[in-house]
Amino acid sequence: MRNDTNRQVILTSRPTDIPQAGHFELRESVVPEIGNGQFLLRNIYLSVDPAMRGWVSAVANYSEPVALGSVMRAISVGEVIESRHPDYAAGEVVCGLFGWQEFALSDGSEVWFKHDPALAPVSTALGVLGINGLTAYFGLLDVGQPKAGETVVVSTAAGAVGSAVGQLAKIQGCRTVGITGSDDKVALCREAFGYDAAVNYHADDLDSALAAACPDGIDVYFDNTAGRISDAVYRQLNVGARCAICGTASVSSWEPWPDGPRLERHLLVKRARAQGFLLFDFQDRFGEARTQLARWLNEGRLSYREDVLDGLEHAPGAIARLYAGENRGKLLIKLGDAPG
Amino acid sequence: MRNDTNRQVILTSRPTDIPQAGHFELRESVVPEIGNGQFLLRNIYLSVDPAMRGWVSAVANYSEPVALGSVMRAISVGEVIESRHPDYAAGEVVCGLFGWQEFALSDGSEVWFKHDPALAPVSTALGVLGINGLTAYFGLLDVGQPKAGETVVVSTAAGAVGSAVGQLAKIQGCRTVGITGSDDKVALCREAFGYDAAVNYHADDLDSALAAACPDGIDVYFDNTAGRISDAVYRQLNVGARCAICGTASVSSWEPWPDGPRLERHLLVKRARAQGFLLFDFQDRFGEARTQLARWLNEGRLSYREDVLDGLEHAPGAIARLYAGENRGKLLIKLGDAPG
């Protein structure tokens, strides 16, 4: 189960835009020895997330930039293979910030939650039962507060977060409308994720396409994009609408800060709300949400897609792949098998 | 108490910008006879409000535009002088949409609330105990939700709404910072309305002036202006900030729709909320709010200023006067004396 070599992906130069394979190097180091209060984790799946672009940026963000020469920060799920920590036992599966590497030493501070493989496959701890599903859950239900019969618009709708948002909104009894970036993904939204309608944001006239998809206006907007996609949505908000701002993926740079149509008047006239949120403000409720999400998953009401690359050597190019929209589901890198 | 002539201010042409005296005419008509279910009101004070600009505009707004040739829509407070309506008795004082005229016939549908003159002077029903105070009350307390020790910024701070917001925030134990348009009004904010600091928005460097006034950042923003004033505020929001959008007075036109720095990223990174509101969504709580506001008023914790013009002939030019910022307090037109 254990060898002496720990292969790691190291950040070697700082991207100014989307991180590419060339910004990283594979390095071999020695698997560390554990001390008291520590455990050793064997990574099973590594996650590839849009947030990684921010993590390697020199610009201040939610967290400190990843230092040059160090292991790339990443969310992963793995098995505890040796422990001198009272809260973690060998054989347990945990999810957290263990980095793009085969083995990680931890004192527990990197752990987000334990995952019970009986609940759902280990890989879901990085997706629909991990930050993507949790982001959808709290952003939609707590910030967006959809009510049955309302229209919920999601940008972008076919991604790991958006696909969960659309399905959760459907479970709430809402009309769901997805905005996505290709005709293939429009079809995916309708067929795999149950959206009532889906719109390609490359449409010549996005306003008209959105109006046709939302004949009763828009009550809840789950926003992963900002920019011109959001501009079209804000023009069609209903009175009392709620916009949950989760990301700004369509805006390529905030230096210089971009202009757009002013939101204030839409918010005023429609008595609407726009609210940003951060998943980790809800950390004390992860257990509740994962239990509920697993129930819907096991009832067949929540489906997900994964795009799994096999082997650590795929990690360096994976962020660029994600930003190019080439993945068809949650992008994961598989390093090994689940326990048992 | 009653004569046969009812002097009225009639809208005679439609302004494209700020309404001027020339858009109105004084006309004399006959005081109407009341029928069953009606009462006749003698106006005591007429209100002059920023919303009147919207009411005479051809552009769709909250309400139908005032028709050319009809009495100018206005909030007023007056005395019931004759009644065949079961809910209104002669001698009662009521506030509502009775128009710029000496006498108004009503079936009760124009009434917003009754005012007890023992509570506070009749004129306050149009200001601090009327829509201005109520707007401050619900916008600050319900939408802004300030907590003791937080910093509350108000634009514009010396007006009829803003001056009440600043004082209510102070009562909540907040640090209050006013943004206003002249050095005189900066002094007024500090001396009359108890702001901890005040900033002139004509400052060369509004961002720096605001930063100096808000050393701990901004937790609540009560926004009457939108535009570049708001842009400076959004750049200094704290995590978890709440912005209550009450008006967009600094934006002279929404045709074409103006651009500004995108808000989405501020809201996301600060997990902040921007929310428009309309006073009349809180109409079922006016009684509660007026009781509380009157208590603070009578305890000397809430002060207000009025700028009273004597006689109906001042009404036609009053909206332009308001938009020019020439008034020093709630702008009112006095037509007669309170009862008793």
**Which chain B residues are Cβ-neighbours of A268 within 8 angstroms?**
226, 245-248, 276-277
Contact criterion met (CB < 8 Å) for B271 and A275: yes
Whether the per-residue pLDDT at A247 is higher than 80: the answer is yes
Residue B300 in domain = no
Say if residue A222 is in the same domain as residue A268: yes
Say if residue B261 is in the same domain as residue B155: yes
Residue A122 in domain = yes
- CB-nearest to A264 from B245, B267, B277 is B245
Min Cα separation B256/chain A (Å) = 10
Whether the per-residue pLDDT at B328 is higher than 90: the answer is no
Whether the per-residue pLDDT at A235 is higher than 80: the answer is yes
Say if residue B153 is in the same domain as residue B268: yes
Whether the per-residue pLDDT at B252 is higher than 90: the answer is no
Q: What is the mean pLDDT of residues A151-157?
A: 96
Residue-level pLDDT at B329: 86
Say if residue A94 is in the same domain as residue A168: no
Q: Where residue B1 falls among pLDDT bands split at 50, 70, 90?
A: very low
Residue-level pLDDT at B122: 97
Say if residue A114 is in the same domain as residue A41: yes
Residue-level pLDDT at A62: 66
Angle, CA of A301, A219 and A194, to the nearest 5°: 25
DSSP character string of A263-279: SHHHHHHTT-EEEE--G
Q: Where residue B62 falls among pLDDT bands split at 50, 70, 90?
A: low
Cβ atoms of B257 and B226 closer than 8 Å: no
Say if residue A143 is in the same domain as residue A272: yes
Say if residue B140 is in the same domain as residue B168: yes
Residue A221 in domain = yes
Contact criterion met (CB < 8 Å) for A276 and B258: no
DSSP character string of B247-299: --TT----SSPPEEE-SHHHHHHTT-EEEE--GGGGGGGHHHHHHHHHHHHHT
Q: What is the pLDDT of residues B270-324, one digit of tens each?
A: 999 999 999 999 999 999 999 999 999 999 999 999 999 999 999 999 999 998 8
- Tell me which residue range forms the domain holding B104: 5-127+305-334
Residue for token pair 């020093």? B328
Question: Quick one: B254 exposed, middle or buried, by C-beta within 10 A (0-12, 13-18, 19+)?
Answer: middle
Residue-level pLDDT at B59: 72
Residue B285 in domain = no
What is the pTM (predicted TM-score) of this model? 0.91
Q: What is the mean pLDDT of residues A47-60?
A: 87
Q: What is the mean pLDDT of residues B125-134?
A: 97
Alpha helices in A182-280 (DSSP H): 183-191, 206-213, 227-234, 264-269
Q: What is the pLDDT of residues A167-178, one digit of tens each?
A: 999 999 999 999
Say if residue A150 is in the same domain as residue A254: yes
Q: Which of B61, B170, B138, B42 is nearest to B99 (CA)?
A: B42
Q: What is the mean pLDDT of residues B30-59?
A: 93
Is B284 an interface residue toward A (CB < 8 Å)?
no
Residue A289 in domain = no
In total, how many domains does chain A have? 2
CA–CA distance, B26 with B42 (Å, rounded to integer): 17
- What backbone phi and psi angles, to 5 degrees, belong to B246? -110, -25
Contact criterion met (CB < 8 Å) for B264 and A230: yes
Say if residue B239 is in the same domain as residue B313: no
Residue-level pLDDT at A3: 60
CA–CA distance, B50 with B258 (Å, rounded to integer): 20
Q: Where residue B229 falls among pLDDT bands split at 50, 70, 90?
A: very high
**Which chain A residues are Cβ-neighbours of B57 within 8 angstroms?**
none
Say if residue B228 is in the same domain as residue B177: yes
Q: Which of B109, B52, B107, B102 is nearest to B78 (CA)?
A: B102
Q: What is the DSSP letter of A101?
A: B
Question: Quick one: B246 exposed, middle or buried, by C-beta within 10 A (0-12, 13-18, 19+)?
Answer: buried
CA–CA distance, A71 with B51 (Å, rounded to integer): 59
Q: What CATH number is associated with residue A203?
A: 3.40.50.720
**Which chain B residues are Cβ-neighbours of A230 within 8 angstroms?**
264
Least reliable range by pLDDT among A161-165, B61-65, B257-261: B61-65
CB hemisphere CA count around B5 (13 angstroms) = 4
Say if residue B322 is in the same domain as residue B192: no
Q: What is the pLDDT of residues A109-141, one digit of tens each?
A: 999 999 999 999 999 999 999 999 999 999 999
**Which chain B residues are Cβ-neighbours of A277 within 8 angstroms?**
268, 271
122-161 in A: which are within 8 Å (CB) of B? none
Residue B298 in domain = no
Q: What CATH number is associated with residue A326?
A: 3.90.180.10
Min Cα separation B277/chain A (Å) = 5
Question: Quick one: B231 exposed, middle or buried, by C-beta within 10 A (0-12, 13-18, 19+)?
Answer: middle
CA–CA distance, A47 with A122 (Å, rounded to integer): 12
39-78 in A: which are within 8 Å (CB) of B? 62
The ipTM assigned to this model is 0.90
Residue-level pLDDT at A1: 45
Say if residue B212 is in the same domain as residue B81: no
What integer best gives the mean pLDDT of chain A?
95
Task: Classify the C-alpha dihedral A261-A265-A271-A275 as positive or negative.
Answer: positive
Residue B296 in domain = no
Q: What is the mean pLDDT of residues A3-19?
A: 92
Residue A285 in domain = no
Residue-level pLDDT at A130: 97
What integer best gives the mean pLDDT of chain B?
95
